[in-house]
Chains A and B, each alone.
Chain A
Amino acid sequence: MEELTDEVLLQLIHLGNESALGALYDRHGKAAYSLAYRMLGDVHAAEDAVQEAFVNVWRRAGSFRNARGTARTWVMAVVHHRSIDIGRKRRGIAPRELPLDLTLLPADSHDTWSEVSNTLDRALLKECLEQIPLEQREVIELAYFQGHTQREIAELKGIPLGTVKGRVRIGLQKLRGLVLELGLGGSTDEP
């Protein structure tokens, strides 16, 4: 199975091949768990999130469409959503309605991630985030890693919703530019 691409593994999973699911876990399980652990801060909850996410992948591998993004992106999105659900449940917050299927979205036309992911490591990515001004970074982290909605963040921080949206927008634009610069030697499509 080592030679198979993620996309082929998903096809095999769709056909009911357990070894393919094991191979996909071997490839992305650690990154998935690292994300879940960061979001939930608890070993058992993180494991539950990863387990439920991979079982979702098992159930829905057939809905993956290669043209809409990479298999890794899809798997990590499933893990992210499961972690948000579990985190909110544990904090006694109402569960959220999350996007049903991220694979419905088109991939970035530059397909940059597949290029940069081969060359960047976690430390460099973290450096990118740290270069973003604190107030922008904070709202992004509250949304992505803590699973808060932008409206909840506005209430939490006592700032207008529009301000939260503006900070998120500028912060993500900066992060995209920084990752592109880092991964593609300064060749970006940023205006």
Chain B
Amino acid sequence: MSHDELKGLAEGYALSALDADELKQFEAHLDACQECLASVAELRLPVDALSMMNDEAEPAGNLRERILASARAEPRNQEQPVKSAPWWLRPVLRPIPVAAVFAGLVAVIMVVAVWGSQADGDLSSVQRRLSLTYDGIEIMAQAEQWWRFDGSGITSGAAGTLAYSEEIGAACLLVWGLAEADHFNYQVRLTEADGAVTVRKMWRYDDAMWLILDGDPNLLQKLEIMLFNGETSPDSETPPLPVLIDIPLTAS
């Protein structure tokens, strides 16, 4: 098929109305043709509109429970679900004293932490991951304050959210849509007025990154996460590290 013929399949593709052969050819073509990819992307809006213009119908009351029961019965090809983590893996959440270790010493303090994110497979890794995600979910469930990031300040293709629970005294940053190529080590830099916010834990999970901060993120002026190549000392000033996330937060 010529390019023009293939381009003529974009609308059928967007409506899921191509024959099997056409679909196969068009999907292969999409891998290499930005023009057709853009055409299909533009068709998202009318197709979305079609999906939302239907008269409202009420599903049976038990459909929700049926869905959850089916999901529960599904085998999952990943580690044990967070909700069923044994008690001995769950960390005790406790409010973190907001005492500022460096208060009054300097106007701006950089807190630096480096994590390796490649320790898959062993028990301690799984335990750490479960513990972290449990903490994160706990904070999100009780959060009173939210920030959302999906454009400037975040590496291309990523988005994130920061949730703060005053009651727990901690915040959880979740960033998703990170590229596989970024799957190495990270350096976190918090810029703040008095050192009252510290990094508790951090974990990379597929395309998502979780970070738990102890303290009130309102005290932060800036939160940055950079790639660390594992060879350069995190304290080294050169070479400049690629910035994945650069979130300016206005101190309250």
Query: What is A's interface to B at a CB cutoff of 8 Å?
Result: 1, 3-5, 7-8, 11-12, 14-19, 21-22, 25-26, 29-31, 33-35, 37-38, 43, 46-47, 50-51, 54-55, 58-59, 62, 65-67, 69, 73, 76-77, 79-81, 84, 96-100, 104-109, 112-113, 116-117, 122, 125-126, 128-129, 140, 143-145, 147-151, 153, 165, 168-169, 172, 175-176, 179-180
A-B contacts, 23 of them at CB < 8 A, read A8-B140, A15-B133, A18-B81, A21-B68, A21-B71, A31-B54, A38-B55, A46-B59, A47-B60, A47-B66, A51-B66, A58-B71, A62-B78, A69-B44, A96-B16, A98-B16, A104-B30, A106-B37, A107-B41, A149-B18, A150-B17, A165-B11, A172-B43
Give 14 new A-B contacts, CB below 8 A, not counting A3-B143, A34-B54, A144-B15: A11-B176, A15-B205, A16-B78, A17-B81, A18-B68, A18-B72, A29-B63, A51-B63, A65-B207, A76-B51, A76-B52, A77-B51, A144-B17, A165-B11
State the total of A-B contacts with C-beta under 8 angstroms: 233
Q: For the complex formed, measure the closest distance between the CB of A179 and the CB atoms of chain B, giving whole angstroms.
A: 5
Interchain CA distance A34-B193 in the complex, whole Å: 52
The number of chain B residues with a CB under 8 A from chain A is: 75
Interface string of B54-72 (1 = CB under 8 A from A): 1111111001101110111
Cβ–Cβ contact A99 & B16, under 8 A:
yes
Q: Is the CB of B17 within 8 A of A148?
A: yes
Residue of B nearest to A125 (CB): B53
Determine how close the nearest CB of chain A comes to the CB of B108; give it in whole angstroms: 31
A172 and B44 contact, CB distance less than 8 A = no
Residues of B that sit less than 8 Å from A by CB: 8, 11-20, 23-24, 27, 30, 37-38, 40-60, 63-64, 66-68, 70-72, 74, 76, 78, 80-84, 133, 137, 140-141, 143, 146, 148, 150, 156-159, 161, 163, 174, 176-177, 205-208
